[in-house]
């Protein structure tokens, strides 16, 4: 695959320019070359960007993404630290899900109460 400019990478892979700029600023671009003021992304960079997008999509903050990516680029010996980060974010996501489930239960109770009240008044919907 040919190298892509930041604009081409953004458009082709649907990656926001801001994320690509952050990626560049972290110095994680590896073999990316700068040609006429534009970064050139190779296949390995695009694989890293895919991981960055996944981390972004699952709720990692930019600082956490950078930390995770720095560990990932170090390779072997960082698996435990990366797993801890993933487990922490997973735990936080589950907490959020449980909180939202409780909110839905409360809303359903209120809906039930309104429906029961309407039914009791002879105004069934």
Q: What is the mean pLDDT of each run of 10 residues along the chain (125 residues)?
A: 73 81 71 58 79 89 91 92 97 96 97 91 62
- pLDDT at residue number 8: 81
pTM above 0.85, yes or no: no
Identify the pLDDT of residue 124: 55
Question: b/e for 15-37, b at 16 or more Cβ within 10 A?
Answer: beeebbebbbebebbeebeeeee
Q: How far is CA 30 from CA 9, 37, 77, in A?
A: 16, 17, 20
Instruction: Work out the angle between the directed axes of helices 43-57 and 62-74 (0-180°, nearest 10).
Output: 140
Q: Within its chain, how far is the Cα of 29 from the centroid?
A: 19
33, β-bridge pairs: 40
Q: Which CATH topology does 1-74 take? A: Multidrug-efflux Transporter Regulator; Chain: A; Domain 2 (1.10.1660)
pLDDT of residue 30: 55
Neighbours of 85 (CB within 10 A): 17
The pLDDT, as a whole number, for residue 16 is 83
Report the distance separating Cα 14 and Cα 7, nearest Å. 10
């Amino acid at each position: 695959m040919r190298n892509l400019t930041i604009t081409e990478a953004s458009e082709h892979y649907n990656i926001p320019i801001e994320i690509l700029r952050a990626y560049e600023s972290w110095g994680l671009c590896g073999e990316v070359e700068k040609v006429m003021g534009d970064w050139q992304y190779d296949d390995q960079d695009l694989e890293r960007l895919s991981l960055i997008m996944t981390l972004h999509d699952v709720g990692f903050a930019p600082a956490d993404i950078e930390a995770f990516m720095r560990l990932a680029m170090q390779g072997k010996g960082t698996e435990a630290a990366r797993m801890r980060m993933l487990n922490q974010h997973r735990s936080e996501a589950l907490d959020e899900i449980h909180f939202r489930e409780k909110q839905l239960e409360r809303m359903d109770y209120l809906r039930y109460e309104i429906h029961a009240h309407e039914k009791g008044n002879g105004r069934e919907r």
